[in-house]
Structure 1
Amino acid sequence: MTDVRTIVEQYIAVWNETDAVKRRARIADVFTENAGYTDPLGAVTGHDGIDQFVAGAQQQFGGLTFSLPAGPDAHHDLARFQWYLGTPGAEPVAIGFDVVELEDGKIAKVHGFLDKLPG
């Protein structure tokens, strides 16, 4: 299996990439063609759906960045990790926990959970 930490770091980089062309290239590198993404705010499939979902989150939370407070925990073709959304060095405005299913070194499915939301 490809280094899980690297895959998860690339996944976080997708969420932080604001240039649409670069973000789309990152999505193609990180996700399988028919990857699925599901969290309490929505469910999408494929590179187009993921790109639109990420772009929407960036519009809503402009100026904030995603980060990993710790490395992922992984076994077989699964990984889980917590993420923060906020300004570096400040208390996160959102905290989530994702579980990803891996396939051939890419993410095939994301199961997202939101632990803390702004407001």
Structure 2
Amino acid sequence: MPDELARRYLATWNERDPVKRRALIDELWTEDACYVDPIATADGRGAVDDVVATAQRQFPGLVYRLAGSIDSHHHVARLTWELGPEDGPPVIIGLAVLITDHGRLSRVCGFLDRTGAQR
């Protein structure tokens, strides 16, 4: 379950088609979902979609991918992700803590571990 959840979570961040992305969000996130990281806060699926769309505009051509293994217990999973060119080194590395409610994301807390400026 944690591997599938992580795959679907990152697929949402990589989906460039707005209609497909929103369908992924509606399927994966609870209606009252909350997302928070050092840069953005989102309450509800529409706001989550806005945060993802904004990130895609800020980082055109870059993809999110899993960096390492997923750690999970109960209804919580932790994963490290990286953002970079498809076949290149990461520009940003971060951590996401995913909290689920009946298998759907209800809260995600994100952290930025390293950005390109910190090399």
User: Would you call these one fold, judging by a TM-score over 0.5?
Assistant: yes
TM-score normalised by the chain length of structure 1: 0.95
Runs of 4+ in 1 over 6 A off after TM superposition: none
1:118 Cα offset (Å): 2.8
Query: TM-score, normalized by length of structure 2?
Result: 0.95
CA-based RMSD of the aligned residues comes to 0.9
Which residue of the partner structure matches residue 3 of structure 2? 5
2: CA distance, partners of 1:42 / 1:25: 21
Residue 24 of structure 1 and its aligned partner are, at CA, apart by 0.1
2:68 is matched with 70
Measure the CA separation in 2 of the matches of 1:97 and 1:84. 9
Task: Tell me the equivalent position of 2:114.
Answer: 116
Q: Which residue of 2 aligns with 1:97?
A: 95
Gaps of 5+ in 1: none
Query: Within 5 Å, which residues of 2 pair with 1:39-58?
Result: 39-58=37-56
Separation of aligned partners in 2, 1:48 and 1:85: 23
Provide Cα deviations, 1:3-56, integer angstroms capped at 9, x if missing partner: 121011100000000000000000011111111000000111111000000000
Instruction: Tell me the amino acid that sits aligned with residue 99 of structure 1.
Output: V
Amino-acid identity (%): 41
- Structure 2, unmatched stretches of 5+, are none
Distance 2:81 2:67 in 1: 6
SS of the residue 2:100 aligns to: strand
Which amino acid in the other structure matches residue 59 of structure 2? Answer: F
Q: Which amino acid aligns with 1:44?
A: A
Q: Kindly tell me the number of residue pairs found equivalent between the two proteins.
A: 117
